[in-house]
Amino acid sequence: MPHRALDAVRAAIDAVDDLTARDLAPVLTALVDGAGAVGAAVADVADGRLEPLALAGEVPRQLEPAITRALSVGTAAREGSLLAVPLPCPQATNLVLVAEMGADRDLEVLVRATGHQLTLRLELVDARRRLDAAEARTETLALATQALGRTLELQEVFTAILSQLRLVVPYSSASVQRLEGRRLQIIGGHGFDNLDEILTLSFDLRADDNPNRLVIESRQPVILAEAPEEYPAFRENPHMPAGIRSWLGVPLEFGDRILGMLSIDSREGDFYDDGHARIAQAFAAQAAIAIENARLFGEMRRMATHDSMTGLPNRRHLDDVGAQAVERARREGRAVSLLLFDLDRFKVVNDSHGHAVGDEVLCEIARRARALVRPQDVLARFGGVEFVVLLPDTDEPTAIAVAERLRGAVGEQQVDTSAGPLTVTISVGVSARDVADVPMSELLREADHRLYEAKARGRDRVVAG
């Protein structure tokens, strides 16, 4: 057999990039025109049906006996002058090379070798394709995780997780769930028409009516091929409108702590596989870091603006927010009032019962004051035993009424402490403007003067201008 025939076959095999007639036909043509085969074909047997992918020369129609025999024994098989060689490549399960050799028995060696080389080539093509896909997924994952680090606002992180997740794992709908005690609370979602309802859901991890428990307990991805068949809740509201069939749950872990999970849904059955689970798990690891960073940032910011003991805003926060509120009232020509109050004879409490009991009293007073103010009011611990209440859109008579209610809420009911119930009273200074015309610092100065006057008059009272 001329070397040029062998070279032509090898060159044609080296050029194969896919299971298409364009790629496979040159190999068959090289066997026919260059090596002398009567005819050749590559066929795929799917569901009992033979479908030629490429043909060359004169190939008999009765290929089935040779192909069936080759597939049954798993190796090359002859049927008369036909030789069938299985091609066990990753892209097709029942692929066969068939050659009509005529009277030239020497062709059998070349056809067998062609089948072997073609198999290796197709395996190489598949490996390269999978490598390219893996590299693309890795790059996408890297870009997605980089995007998670662009914000330290917790709610923005949840939004970024759902938007970037879609780049690495396809989904119809998805949710971020935070672990709170023995419950998972949905805190972010995408792809739901009834998102408001979805955001009210939480899952009891002691119940067995949801797959979320399995994710948290195993700390491993969980795949459901047909979720509604295994868990009836998927067939009920509020889940039903999403049309969820396939479900993938992935834990969000930071160190040895589990923060929650990602729930990833598809309207297609049996959609998710181990490959999706692996990349989702890699993404979840980065998402957990982003969540924890945002949480720590939020805590640090809160520590800088809030009193650690009572949980109320501190003077720094009051200076910023209060100044803005007073300036807004000035621009709009609206009223503003400010209350400054402190606890009467609080040193006696500390000296008699210790500072720990004093702290208990301060926390209770803060709680009672918080229960009285409106959402738009600013209640802050000003320092020591002094507290401030900034009241936007509030004139002096109304501010005095609020101050009296506050004084009554503190003094009319004893404070329960570890040292027993204690009677506590407060004195309040009121500064008010029907139309805001002075800065925050002036309101504080006036209120402080009137608080001093309330102390001088015997304490447990409200003094206004």
Give the model confidence (pLDDT) of 168-182 as tens digits: 899 999 999 999 999
Rounded percentage of the chain residues whose pLDDT exceeds 90:
51
> What is the per-residue pLDDT for 332?
93
> What is the per-residue pLDDT for 47?
67
> What is the per-residue pLDDT for 140?
63
Half-sphere exposure for 286 (CA within 13 Å, toward CB): 21
- Cβ burial of 195 (10 Å; 0-12, 13-18, 19+) is middle
Lowest mean pLDDT among 112-126, 147-161, 387-401: 147-161
Query: Is pLDDT at 1 greater than 60 in this prediction?
Result: no
> What is the per-residue pLDDT for 35?
83
Condensed to tens digits (0 to 9), the pLDDT of residues 350-392 reads 999 999 999 999 999 999 999 999 999 999 999 899 999 999 9
Supply 93's token pair.
Answer: 């399960």
Condensed to tens digits (0 to 9), the pLDDT of residues 185-199 reads 998 999 999 999 999
Lowest mean pLDDT among 143-152, 410-419, 452-461: 143-152
Condensed to tens digits (0 to 9), the pLDDT of residues 195-250 reads 999 999 999 998 888 999 999 999 999 999 999 999 999 999 998 999 999 999 99
φ and ψ of 234, to 5 deg: -70, -20
User: Smallest Cα–Cα separation from 339: which of 322, 324, 327?
Assistant: 322
Query: Is pLDDT at 335 greater than 90 in this prediction?
Result: yes
CA distance 452 to 449: 5
Condensed to tens digits (0 to 9), the pLDDT of residues 83-110 reads 888 888 777 667 888 888 876 667 888 8
> What is the per-residue pLDDT for 389?
97
> What is the per-residue pLDDT for 289?
87
CA distance 127 to 408: 79
Condensed to tens digits (0 to 9), the pLDDT of residues 26-82 reads 988 888 888 888 888 888 877 667 778 888 888 766 667 777 777 777 788 888 878
